[in-house]
Amino acid sequence: MLTILYRGPWRPATTTARTARSPNAGTPRAAARRPGRAGTLLRVGGGSGSGAVDPVHAVGRRPGSILVPAGPGDAVSAPRVRRVAIQTNLSCRTGWLDDADRDAVALWCTYHPGQTPHDRFLTKTTELTALGVRFSVGVVGLPEHLEAARRLRAELPDSVYLWVNAAEGHEYTDADAAGWIGIDPLFEFSQRPHRTRGRGCRTGDSVVSVDGAGTVRRCHFVPEVLGNLYDDSFRDALRPRPCPLDVCDCHIGYVHAEQLPLYDVFAGGVLERIPAEPVWLPLPARR
């Protein structure tokens, strides 16, 4: 089983698809379609796109069979894809998910206070809940966003996990972190960078990063090229290897670090960032 982290533009293709792909972060358009229905196959590649695309995480049995087409009005036929998670700011409509296989699709929804109206974002999460789509919600831990994050946590259903990412370049004292841990008990994993040089990591073995041209790297933060997804030239480069970086400070990187217990914490929901247990709830409420 291979995890593909995709970041890049998108365009439709007239032939078959060979890899995981995503629409614009604000306008996701596809997920694994329900069995028994036809779908249009699209592929990632160079060409026009509608803006930057946040990472898509797709898990399939073999990369040549990962079909995650996406485009306006198109559906997805992806029988070998086990899970597709799309990172989005929920500025899109949610109706496209009505045709999605609920066992295969999930969303990672980022709320940006000041950029997205609170009520509009909350309404979209309500729609996702009504559709039965698995999703998590998150914010960046900037001091000026703390109260907005608390308000969002209070208004989200208890069933929804709200994660907090440490802001890039921001240092947190334990007192600073306490407010965020009150929202997300797992914030302690994000609070400080993890020393990773020479330590085991799943990237480059069971996890790879792919851009719009099909270029395969071990992760978004290591520039070394392993090959290309479309010609299978990356396959021989897949193997366990230590991390070459001094530190890793981004969730989409360190979640794969073998020194951390996050594959157990997020068992069954690593891609969509949903913990196996509702750690954000008081102990009595978890029963």
pLDDT tens track for 212-270? 888 999 999 999 999 998 888 999 999 999 999 999 999 999 999 999 999 999 999 99
Joined together, the tokens standing for residue 29 give: 């358009």
pLDDT at res. 2 = 86
Handedness of CA 94, 131, 185, 201 (dihedral sign): negative
Which pLDDT score, from 0 to 100, does residue 102 have?
A: 87
Least confident of 39-53, 110-124, 127-141: 39-53
What number is the average pLDDT over the span 30-44?
A: 31
- Lowest mean pLDDT of 89-98, 124-133, 183-192, name the range: 89-98
Amino acid 255 reads V
Candidates 77, 161, 149; CA nearest to 113 is 149
**Chain mean pLDDT for the chain:** 78
Q: Give the per-residue pLDDT at 284.
A: 58
Residue 64 confidence (pLDDT): 29
Q: Where are the beta strands (DSSP E) in the chain?
A: 2-6, 56-60, 81-88, 105-110, 134-140, 162-165, 194-195, 200-201, 207-210, 215-219, 222-228, 241-242, 247-248
pLDDT in tens, 50-89: 223 333 345 332 322 233 333 333 333 445 677 888 888 9
What residue segments make up the domains of the chain, in order of their start? Answer: 2-286
Does the pLDDT value for residue 109 go beyond 90? yes
pLDDT reported for residue 150: 97
CA gap 27, 127 in Å, rounded: 15
Q: CA–CA separation, 152 vs 144, rounded Å? A: 14
Q: Is 149 left (phi over 0), alpha (psi -120 to 50) or beta?
A: alpha
What pLDDT, on the 0 to 100 scale, is given for residue 286?
Answer: 54
Q: What is the DSSP code string of 192-239?
A: SPEE-BTSEESBTTTEEEE-TT-EEEEETTEEEEEEETTTTTTGGG--
Residue 211 reports pLDDT greater than 60: yes
Whether the pLDDT of residue 116 is over 80: the answer is yes
Q: Which two tokens stand for residue 280?
A: 């954000």
Q: Taking Cα atoms as reference points, which of 175, 213, 195, 157 lies closest to residue 18?
A: 213
> By percentage, how much of the chain surpasses pLDDT 90?
57
